[in-house]
Amino acid sequence: MTEMRNHNEEKAIGEGVGFERIRRITGYLVGTTDRWNNAKRAEEHDRVKHTIGRQ
Amino acid sequence: MVQQKTSGVKTIIKRNGAKVPFDSNKIRNAILKANVHTPGEKMSEDKLDEITLLVVAVYDQAGITPTVEQVQDTVEEKLIEFDLPQTAKAYILYRAEHQKMREMDANLMKIYENLTFRPSADVDLKRENANIDADTAMGTMLKYGSEGAKAFYDEYVIPREIAEAHQNGDIHIHDKDFYALTETCCQINLLKLFHNGFSTGHGYLREPNDIRSYSALACIAIQANQNEMHGGQSIPNFDYCMAPGVAKSYRKLYFKALTQYLQLHENLSHEDAQALVAAIRQDLGSDITLSGSEAYGKELVKYLPVHQQEGGYQTIYAQTVEDAHRYACETAWDETDSATYQAMEALVHNLNTMNSRAGAQVPFSSLNYGTDTSEEARMVIRNLLLATEAGLGDGETPIFPVQIFKVKEGVNYNPGDPNYDLFKLAIRVSAKRLFPNFSFLDAPFNLQYYKPGDYDSEVAYMGCRTRVMGNTYDPSREVTCGRGNLSFTSINLPRLGIEARGDIKKFYELLDDRIDLVIEQLLHRFKIQCSKKVYNYPFLMGQGVWIDSEKLGRDDTVAEVLKHGTLSIGFIGLAETLKVLTGKHHGESAESQKLGLEIIGHMRKRMDDESEKTRLNWSLLATPAEGLSGRFVSIDAKKYGKIPGVTDREYYTNSFHVPVYYPISAYRKIQLEAPYHALTNAGHISYVEMDGDACKNLDAFESVIRCMKEAGIGYGSVNHPVDRDPVCGYNGIIGEVCPRCGRRAGESVSREKLDELRKKYPNVPQYHCDC
């Protein structure tokens, strides 16, 4: 891993830390998608954006 | 007893392969038990002994060590030889029953093994509900209980055909692990609960006296009730409930500031200043409010100089009193406002961190607000929104409480409405934090109950979407407070479509059969729920949270008061159903939309008819389907194969939604989904997925909310990406690379760089240890 180098440098922070991605399912928010079940992950992956502004 | 004749059989081989000492009495007891159930074939003691000895003799002669199964086969043979067919039959049934129990045990043990030794990343079962961390000790313990309970109910409680309908994916009994225990959810009226204090079951809390204790007790009430129900907890009137706390804080802080001013300005001792203010409160009363401070000031200016003169005390001029009053008002306003902010901040923090259900999760909490236009309530709403906007400790987006802003014309929807500013603020906060969601009291099916200023007539939404309002059981009590859903069960709609093979008439026949089955099931569960006593719910019923429960004694049953709750049938996958019936879902074809409305309209009518018939509250739910979205489709894909547009994805589409993968404008999506809101009286929600950074496009955000309102949506919200880098604290959209610190997921950033960033962005987290 190339990050090993950073790890050994004295003052680097964040090695192995991912981003939090907060999404809404069934009305609730969920802090990260790690705890989502497989079906919900697939559903979230498939979501497309809706165009706004129709005039 | 069988005489212990010297027998050659010393040991027997158990099913697990272990050799254990042979005991012929076990054979005798098993035969006796079977015979007891067959009155027509009463067996004498001697006969029992005789058969037992003959069974043993078989193995004596053969000189082998028998297995349990072999011995049981021999018993069956001997019973038939002796012409005891009924006893033989009972014995065979007894064997089959035990066989089944062993299988159940084996299945359950397999589940327990997975729960115990495999991480949730590998086991979907452990991620059934994203808000429960099943990797922790208490989360696992909760899952043991849950899985054990389900196995028990399937075998011993739920009627066979219903249990099978659940297992094979015809229907889904939600919260089945709580089948015989409690109800789903409740809308808690804190005003009623706080009045004269309450007990959590672990201690008594007196009526709170300032906004901080109001908000702290709100959390405690939610937590206490959550532990007695299997669904979420909602405060339907949060603004109304907190307003008295603000009023009490303001009053206290006003008199405190007045005391300080008089003490300093008039050079009084602290004791004298206190005595003076005590006299004011005695003579003028303490009834100063945020909006009524001016009137109180006028009274005070008239009163105090005269009081001083008549009492022979030190002279205080009218101008001084005016100044003192103004100072006290301003100081009290500022301090109350900041106390309210802190109270709301603490509430949001608490609801994201406090334990529920043995620490496996935080309470599922929902707060509805937006319609109380009093100054006190406005202060609450504004500060709750601001605290939500600010986020948690390091600026994280709060996951709880679910917040619902109640939109109402004349109250907060248009410029000039008293809470219009708060509606605008709600949009700004939701664009950043995903909450609040928006509910629409002007939707005709909500408006019909609405009485201005009466929170009990305002529809509220709970947890994921549940709604309770109409009341067939008692039409004089069509209110929100103290009511909730009792239980709900969902129908696998796409399967009915598949089995109908394009025949709409057949589809409706199947649907009606399925509805009949679910009605039977919900009534079965309801009967069990009705057998409970008040002492089974020390908080929900014991503290009068549920409607009318305050009229019951500790040992009374809850049967009557439960009838105010709802029994709901839900559905998922309307889109897939339409696809299989017509080839197109409702986003693709107007014909399909028409059929979709007919189907859901039919389901609603069945609920209305059932309400009429039973005088219970049957309602139709647009099922949230978190755990369910994948369960039905995986069973169906195995059973019917991959049908394009139907079973070829990992999920069935949420309730009546247009499929998430289907490109459609927000406007059209809203127009298509709105009519289903009117039909699903047990609850519903519609989403719009918004592209880009919503914070930078508040007008577009607001236009979506207004479009929902005008279309007759009951409850909706806008989804947009909210990402956060926990290392540098950036909050917004993150693609591959964090726009603030430039790292990719998993990469590190130098401390110097973070220190540099912190100068510019104060929300960069602090790191206290070198790690």
DSSP H helices in B455-503: 493-500
B367 in contact with A, Cβ within 8 Å: no
- Counted across chains A and B, CB pairs separated by less than 8 A come out at 184
Q: Are residues B90 and B149 in the same domain?
A: no
Q: Are residues B264 and B177 in the same domain?
A: no
Q: Is the dihedral of CA B237, B241, B247, B249 positive or negative?
A: negative
Structure tokens at B168: 């094979």
Q: Decide if A46 and B649 are in contact by the 8 Å CB cutoff.
A: yes
**What is d(CA B525, CA B505) in angstroms, rounded to the nearest whole number?**
31
Residues B240/B455, Cβ–Cβ less than 8 Å = yes
Number of domain units in chain B = 5
Please say which residue of B620, B650, B684 terminates a domain.
B684
Average pLDDT score over residue span B64-68: 89
**Interface subset of A 2-41, CB within 8 angstroms of B:** 3, 6-7, 9-31, 34-40
Which residues, other chains included, contact B565 with Cβ-Cβ below 8 Å and sequence gap of 6+?
B183, B468, B483, B484, B485, B486, B617
Average pLDDT score over residue span B440-469: 94
DSSP H helices in B43-84: 45-62, 68-81
Would you say residue B694 lies in a domain? Answer: no
Average pLDDT score over residue span B49-55: 92
Pairing verdict, β B722-724 and B686-689: unpaired
Which residues, other chains included, contact B282 with Cβ-Cβ below 8 Å and sequence gap of 6+?
none
A43 in contact with B, Cβ within 8 Å: yes
Residues B680/B607, Cβ–Cβ less than 8 Å = no
Task: Report the SS3 class of residue B366.
Answer: strand
CA of B761, closest CA in chain A: separation in Å? 17
Average pLDDT score over residue span B153-164: 92
Q: Decide if B669 and A10 are in contact by the 8 Å CB cutoff.
A: no
Q: Are residues B173 and B134 in the same domain?
A: no
Q: Are residues B744 and B616 in the same domain?
A: no
The pLDDT assigned to B120 comes to: 74
Q: Are residues B491 and B533 in the same domain?
A: yes
Report the residue from B629, B745, B749 with minimal CB separation from A40: B629
B342 in contact with A, Cβ within 8 Å: no
Report the residue from B399, B463, B734 with minimal CB separation from A29: B399
The pLDDT assigned to B769 comes to: 45
B246 in contact with A, Cβ within 8 Å: no
Closest residue in chain B to residue A12, using alpha carbons only: B750
- Residue ranges per structural domain of chain A: 19-55
Burial readout B458-495 (b: 16 or more C-beta within 10 A, e: otherwise): bbbbbbbbbbbbbbbbeeeebbbbbbbbbbbbbbbbbb
Average pLDDT score over residue span B457-468: 90
Q: Decide if A46 and B464 are in contact by the 8 Å CB cutoff.
A: no
Q: Are residues B534 and B646 in the same domain?
A: yes
A48 in contact with B, Cβ within 8 Å: yes
Q: Decide if B748 and A25 are in contact by the 8 Å CB cutoff.
A: no
Which residues, other chains included, contact B606 with Cβ-Cβ below 8 Å and sequence gap of 6+?
B512, B515, B569
Structure tokens at B620: 């139709």
* Higher-scoring residue by pLDDT: B767, B377: B377
Average pLDDT score over residue span B572-600: 98
Q: Decide if B750 and A11 are in contact by the 8 Å CB cutoff.
A: yes
**What is d(CA B90, CA B37) in angstroms, rounded to the nearest whole number?**
7
Would you say residue B508 lies in a domain? Answer: yes
Would you say residue B349 lies in a domain? Answer: no
Q: Decide if B723 and A50 are in contact by the 8 Å CB cutoff.
A: no
Which residues span the domain enclosing B56? 11-97
pLDDT digits (tens, 9 = 90+) for B402-421: 999 999 999 999 999 999 99
- The helix or strand, by DSSP H or E, that contains position B605, with its residue range, turns out to be helix B590-614
Burial readout B666-681 (b: 16 or more C-beta within 10 A, e: otherwise): bbebbbbbbbbbbbbb
* Residue whose structure tokens are 């389907």: B625
- Written as one letter, the residue type at B272 is D
Q: Are residues B297 and B249 in the same domain?
A: yes
Which residues, other chains included, contact B462 with Cβ-Cβ below 8 Å and sequence gap of 6+?
B185, B187, B231, B232, B233, B234, B366, B468, B484, B485, B683
Write the burial class of residue B180 (CB in 10 Å: 0-12 exposed, 13-18 middle, 19+ buried): middle
Structure tokens at B584: 């197109």
Q: Are residues B17 and B144 in the same domain?
A: no
Please say which residue of B72, B97, B122 terminates a domain.
B97
pLDDT-above-90 percentage for chain B: 74
Whether pLDDT at B209 is above 50: yes
Q: Are residues B591 and B736 in the same domain?
A: no
Would you say residue B771 lies in a domain? Answer: no
Closest residue in chain B to residue A35, using alpha carbons only: B130
Q: Decide if A37 and B128 are in contact by the 8 Å CB cutoff.
A: yes
Would you say residue B355 lies in a domain? Answer: no
* Residue whose structure tokens are 């406005």: B378
Among B172-176, B198-202, B625-629, which range has the highest average pLDDT?
B172-176
Would you say residue B354 lies in a domain? Answer: no
Q: Are residues B298 and B173 in the same domain?
A: no
Whether pLDDT at B591 is above 90: yes
Which of A24, A36, A41, A44 should be substituted to probe chain B, the one whose Cβ sees the most B Cβ atoms within 10 Å?
A24
Would you say residue B719 lies in a domain? Answer: no
Q: Are residues B93 and B136 in the same domain?
A: no
Whether pLDDT at B647 is above 90: yes
Residues of B in contact with A55 (CB under 8 A): none
The pLDDT assigned to B396 comes to: 87
pLDDT digits (tens, 9 = 90+) for B500-553: 999 999 999 999 999 999 999 999 999 999 999 999 999 999 999 999 999 999
Which residues, other chains included, contact A47 with Cβ-Cβ below 8 Å and sequence gap of 6+?
B660, B661, B689, B719
Residues of A in contact with B725 (CB under 8 A): 19-20
CA of B299, closest CA in chain A: separation in Å? 50
Q: Are residues B611 and B655 in the same domain?
A: yes
pLDDT digits (tens, 9 = 90+) for B108-141: 888 888 888 887 777 777 776 666 677 788 888 8
Residues B87/B31, Cβ–Cβ less than 8 Å = yes
Residues B433/B398, Cβ–Cβ less than 8 Å = yes
